[in-house]
Chain A
Amino acid sequence: MKSLPPGASKAPIKFRMPTAENLIPIRLDIEIDGQRYKDAFTWNPNDPDSEVVSFAKRTVKDLKLPPTFMTQIAQSIQTQLAEFRSYEGQDMHIKEKIVPLKIDLRVNNIVIRDQFLWDVSNFENDPEEFARTLCEDLNIGDPEVGPAIAVAIREQLYEVAAQSVSSARETRVGKKGRRGIENVTNSKTGNSALDLLKLFGSKGSVIRKRKEWYLYEPIVDLLSNEEVGALDAREELSAR
């Protein structure tokens, strides 16, 4: 059990990932000379920066990529780490906030779509654990699926957390008369938090209406090799 206070809203805490482990999602999408490298994983921001270079070296070696990728990979990771560090040290104003998270992923030949509610203020939540349970329950044997789901969750949480910092900044700025920006950011993300009082108050029920069940149910599709090829080609096109 983490000793973090469950009601994080009371005392503002320094920025971090709103999860049990402070791991940040890193997404790489690098294309050099027609060769494309896509990857997503988590990174511990407390690791020394020398790790980044050695990780890049190791990745290039393992995947037999041309050496030009090495600098690109290291650079991309560094940029994303730097972004995270720019938030670090700032206060995070997360009131209790339950947001719907959406998963729409394709890993190899498995497509998984899912939607569920996540309490951003619950620092005990563990995306990796959740993803593992999900894969176990759905009998997904591909070991790449679980981490992919966890990274997807972390990305969305990261976004929310970053917003909580920036929105706090915006409100401060907004007092000086620039309220418009806050509205823009809110509507842009579309991560509308649930009305907690309505749902968890004395009147509502936490049991979802039966006709809405399908919305919050994971859907797993197994694609044939041809479909995978077609999707790859389409992604290639859209990327250009």
Chain B
Amino acid sequence: MTSSSEDDFGRDLYSIPSSSNWFQWDEIHGTERRELPDFFDGSAASRNVRVYKEYRDFIINKFREDPSRRLTFTEVRKSLIGDVGTLRKVFLFLERWGLINFGVSDGRPRPTEEVGPRVVVEEPGAGVQVMPASSKLASGRSVAAATAAGAGETGFRLPPLSSYSDVFGDWAPGKGPVCAVCGDQCVSGRHEPLMEGGFVVCLKCSKTENEIEGKSADDNSDRVDGNANHATGAWTDAETLLLLEAVLKHGDDWDLIAQHVRTKNRLDCIARLIQLPFGDHMLGTFSGKYDAKNSGNQATNTKAIQHASSELLPEPKTDGHVHNDVNEKVEEESIPVHPSKRRHIQAIANATDSLMKQVALLSTVAGPHVAATAAEAAVTALSDENPWAGEVFNIDEDEARKKRKSFPTNNEPKSDVKVEDQDVEMHKQTDTPVLSEKNFSATAFQTKAAIATALGAAAARAKLLADQEGREMELLVASIIEAQMRKIQYKIKHFKELEFIMEKEYTLIQQMKESLLDKWVEVIQQIFQAGIPRWKDNVFPKSLWNHGS
């Protein structure tokens, strides 16, 4: 190294990663001795400390001639004498430590392990500045974070193959945030915000991180279990093939399958297989287990519905205190599949209670006329169905009819009274048969009648609502059309005005033209009379314009 080149470096500052701040022009650091021992153990004549220093200094100087350009090994080795293998080692060593090609962008993947806290160290003698941070890497990170926050579609890259499609359709393409680690689309619920500058890391990545850190993957696998229906975006073709192969070979021994796939854990494999369009067929006999797991909610629902429907037939209890409302009934439906016996009975009672209550409520909402008609229709239908029911209802039919007649006059202004009346009516309907010592089927019929009434009332109410909504919609559409019409009319008016103005202007211009022509002729005549041989160009237009205006 010549002294002049050293002066050059005294003036310029170069960025190197803070991890390489051991570097000194005039010294050999322990790192260099450790990583390139060939030069320092005196084993070969062509490799010694002096040669190393010359290599190193030359390569670094060469890079710093133009720090924005990437220095290649091929460029370096033409100017250095020595074994290309050894030269390459030195070159790679310097590149790895960021002493050359640091912060040069050429699209090649760069090792990012140097990210970390950085220190500013000013080395006046050596002319090397250690930058606080690699701005390039930092910006790259922030971009990733920005994309993650902005939910960009950039990270989404699933080929449109059928085997890639998620049959459960849980994810929405382009809606989930982008994982900052793997760049994949994160499915909602499968990512968790790690406290690393606020960018999102998807579960898969965070898991691999955890595994690397040696944490037990159990708590993660629990989470995966919960989200087993979600898409795992990062299954490659090869992995899927391995999985299918393993399933064919090992059947449902998921531990063996996971071992075969290697890159994925047991739960991932299960989740992936059931996501495949044909996964169920492959699983064959043991698919039922997973079906139940998947459609667990559905199963519970259907069972609950069965309960509810069977609850309606047994004898109802029509005691006075009603403490269950509609919401509670819904909750009741979603109780565990096999409840204890006591709860079972309670459920029936509650269902009947709330059924009566609901009937009352619905008929109140629908109005007394509608409710009465619905009840009558229900009773008639039941009578047709079974003569027994007719007898049951005949007892108080007259009474009910009377009541119906008196309804319109009594109950129009106060809605509270209506409820009471309805309740009374219902109670009557239910109470009378009990007193008349008919067997329990009477109450069953009455329950049926009540249900039918409620349904009828609800339907009527719904129709009313629908009619109202329809009217409202018509009204709105009409108003929209009207507004549009008005807009068009305004426009037409505007255009007419414009046309009028244009016509006016046109006539004006025509007049102007005529007057101009007259003037022109006049002037020419004057010129002839005056005998002026020629005129100055600039005079005429001016005067003409003046006349014109």
**Binding-face segment, B81-89, B121-129, B188-196, B526-534:** B81-89
Any A CB within 8 A of the CB of B46: yes
A218 to B73, CA, bound (A): 12
Any B CB within 8 A of the CB of A226: no
Q: A216 contacts B38, CB within 8 Å?
A: no
**What bracket does the count of chain B residues touching chain A fall in?**
20 to 34
Any B CB within 8 A of the CB of A137: yes
Q: A118 and B83 in contact (CB under 8 A), knowing A216-B77, A217-B78? A: yes
Find the A residue at minimum CB distance from B37.
A6
Most buried by B among A5, A125, A207, A216: A207
Tell which of B46, B51, B81 touches A208, judged by Cβ atoms closer than 8 Å. Answer: B81
1/0 contact string of B69-96 vs chain A (CB within 8 Å): 0001111011111111110100000000
Q: B51 contacts A116, CB within 8 Å?
A: no
Q: B81 contacts A96, CB within 8 Å?
A: no
Any B CB within 8 A of the CB of A7: yes
Any A CB within 8 A of the CB of B58: yes
Q: A7 contacts B83, CB within 8 Å?
A: no
Tell which of A125, A207, A210, A218 touches B83, judged by Cβ atoms closer than 8 Å. Answer: A125
Tell which of B38, B46, B84 touches A199, judged by Cβ atoms closer than 8 Å. Answer: B46
A207 to B58, CA, bound (A): 8
A137 to B55, CA, bound (A): 19
Find the B residue at minimum CB distance from A209.
B79
Any A CB within 8 A of the CB of B342: no
Tell which of A5, A118, A200 touches B45, judged by Cβ atoms closer than 8 Å. Answer: A200
Q: A137 contacts B73, CB within 8 Å?
A: yes
Q: A122 and B83 in contact (CB under 8 A), knowing A6-B38, A206-B55, A207-B58? A: yes
Tell me how far the C-beta of B47 lies from the nearest C-beta in chain A, rounded to whole angstroms: 8
1/0 contact string of B43-56 vs chain A (CB within 8 Å): 11111101100110
A217 to B73, CA, bound (A): 11
Q: A96 contacts B45, CB within 8 Å?
A: yes
Tell which of B51, B58, B72, B85 touches A124, judged by Cβ atoms closer than 8 Å. Answer: B85
A213 to B77, CA, bound (A): 9
Q: B74 contacts A117, CB within 8 Å?
A: no
Q: B79 contacts A119, CB within 8 Å?
A: no
Tell me how far the C-beta of A150 lies from the nearest C-beta in chain B, rounded to whole angstroms: 13
Tell which of B55, B73, B75, B83 touches A119, judged by Cβ atoms closer than 8 Å. Answer: B83
Q: A213 contacts B78, CB within 8 Å?
A: yes
A160 to B44, CA, bound (A): 19
Q: A196 and B45 in contact (CB under 8 A), knowing A206-B54, A207-B79, A208-B79? A: yes
1/0 contact string of A127-148 vs chain B (CB within 8 Å): 0011001101110000000000
Q: A96 contacts B44, CB within 8 Å?
A: yes
Tell which of A133, A138, A197, A206 touches B82, judged by Cβ atoms closer than 8 Å. Answer: A206
Tell me how far the C-beta of A114 lies from the nearest C-beta in chain B, rounded to whole angstroms: 9
Any B CB within 8 A of the CB of A205: yes
For A218, the chain B residues whose CB sits under 8 A away are: 74, 78
Q: A119 contacts B74, CB within 8 Å?
A: no
Q: B74 contacts A7, CB within 8 Å?
A: no
Find the B residue at minimum CB distance from A205.
B54
For B74, the chain A residues whose CB sits under 8 A away are: 133-134, 137-138, 218
1/0 contact string of A96-118 vs chain B (CB within 8 Å): 10100000000000000000111
A136 to B106, CA, bound (A): 12
1/0 contact string of A207-239 vs chain B (CB within 8 Å): 110100110111000000000000000000000
For B72, the chain A residues whose CB sits under 8 A away are: 136-137
Q: A137 contacts B54, CB within 8 Å?
A: no
Chain B, 5-52, CB within 8 A of any chain A CB: 38, 41, 43-48, 50-51
B interface with A by C-beta (< 8 Å): 38, 41, 43-48, 50-51, 54-55, 58, 72-75, 77-86, 88
Question: Which 3 A-B pairs have CB atoms at the shortest separation, nearest pair first?
Answer: A119-B83, A125-B85, A137-B72
Given contacts A118-B84, A118-B85, A202-B50, 18 further A-B pairs with CB under 8 A are: A6-B43, A96-B46, A98-B82, A116-B77, A116-B84, A119-B83, A121-B44, A122-B44, A124-B85, A133-B73, A133-B74, A137-B72, A196-B45, A197-B45, A200-B46, A201-B45, A216-B78, A216-B79
